[in-house]
Amino acid sequence: MTRILAGVFAVCGLLFGATAAGAAERIVFVGHWSESDSFYNVIRNSAQLAADQLGVTIEFRNPSGGDLSEMGRLIDQAIASKPAGIISTVPDEAIVGEPLSNAVATGIPVVIANSGSAEIAAKIGALRYIGQAEYEAGKAAGGKAKAAGVNSFVCVNHFYQHPVSHQRCQGFADGLGVPLGGQEIDSGTDPNDVVTRAAAYLKAHADTQAILTLGPTGADPMIKWVKDQGAADQYFFATFDLSQDIVSAMKDGLIKVAVDQQPFIQGYGAVAILTNYVRYGVLQANDVFSGPGLITKDNLEQVLALAGKYR
């Protein structure tokens, strides 16, 4: 009996020790989104879920108003705090590439999530990249539009300063088999600016057949505008990502296709990859491409309950 109890206490001690070690592990997640970006909530929710389940601490840091110039400073601050690891988006390699390389040089493991590429991750020295192949995602959506007879569009780009955004627009154009040319506009992030600039383009190019938005920041105000204009049947409306407004518009048939990069996988997977590496020194062999997945009215019911939270 004494030996049995001793064994039980020993096991309990090991479990307690592992829990305590897990609680002491701290990950910093630096993202490029503004707090008002609903897409950010999905990444954050899934990363927090993984942290809770794995027993690690996670801190989220993002630039005020989505100002990319702040990201380098936020990464430097994260390095100075000496976390167990850093997760970061790479909306612009010129801004965050060097700070993230510095993190790796100091011995802090890094995972790139959401924006960036496997090539950039390798260049920085990050463990892995987990995110969507952006050009391919745009091309897949463009293929859907082409099948519907579309040959012209406007790309309403709300994050024009991010190199990855242009890959989405170019992919859509290539999916249609047309030059991108001047069909991409810098809409800004303010809902009024989005509508004003997109409406001006559509007025000047009355033969435009499709509207492509690159996320809820552009999609949500454009959904309202299209409804207000009574133009639901006039445009093939395609978008990236999901929000409650996008889901509702898909149910109504206004939005024909949404590109789902499955941000749950990005946030949750990045925390899991980093935690497993820090704790056990194990690392999966390949980068992770979380998308694209195309959502249409036909498969929408699967994601309805989780839109805006985990989808």
Q: What is the DSSP string of 238-303?
A: EEES--HHHHHHHHHTSEEEEEE--HHHHHHHHHHHHHHHHHH----SS-EEEE-EEE-TTTGGGT
- Domain 22-133+262-291: give its CATH code: 3.40.50.2300
Q: Which of 215, 266, 200 is closest to 245 using CA atoms? A: 215
CATH topology of 22-133+262-291 equal to that of 134-260+297-306?
yes
77, 99 Cβ separation under 8 angstroms = no
What per-residue string of b and e applies to 98-114 under the rule 16 or more CB within 10 Å gives b? ebbeebbeeebbbbbbb
- Can you tell me the distance from the alpha carbon of 75 to that of 93, in angstroms, rounded to the nearest whole number? 13
Residue given tokens 């004494």 in the structure block: 2
- Can you tell me the distance from the alpha carbon of 226 to that of 235, in angstroms, rounded to the nearest whole number? 9
- Can you tell me the distance from the alpha carbon of 301 to that of 275, in angstroms, rounded to the nearest whole number? 33
- Can you tell me the distance from the alpha carbon of 140 to that of 134, in angstroms, rounded to the nearest whole number? 10
Q: What is the pTM of this model?
A: 0.73
Q: Which residues contact 165 (CB under 8 A, 6 or more apart)?
A: 157, 159, 214
Please state the domain extents for the chain.
22-133+262-291, 134-260+297-306
- Can you tell me the distance from the alpha carbon of 309 to that of 270, in angstroms, rounded to the nearest whole number? 17
Q: At what angle do helices 93-105 and 71-80 cross, to 10 degrees?
A: 10
Would you write out the chain's pLDDT as a tens digit for each of its 311 residues?
A: 434 334 433 434 433 333 334 445 999 999 998 777 777 888 999 999 999 999 999 999 999 877 888 999 999 999 999 999 999 999 889 999 999 999 999 999 999 999 888 999 999 999 999 998 889 999 999 999 999 999 999 999 999 988 889 999 999 999 999 999 999 999 999 999 999 999 999 999 999 999 999 999 999 999 999 999 999 999 999 999 888 899 999 999 999 999 988 889 999 999 999 999 999 999 999 999 998 889 988 888 877 766 667 66
Region class of 305: left (phi > 0), else alpha (psi between -120 and 50), else beta: alpha
Domain 134-260+297-306 of CATH type 3.40.50.2300: yes
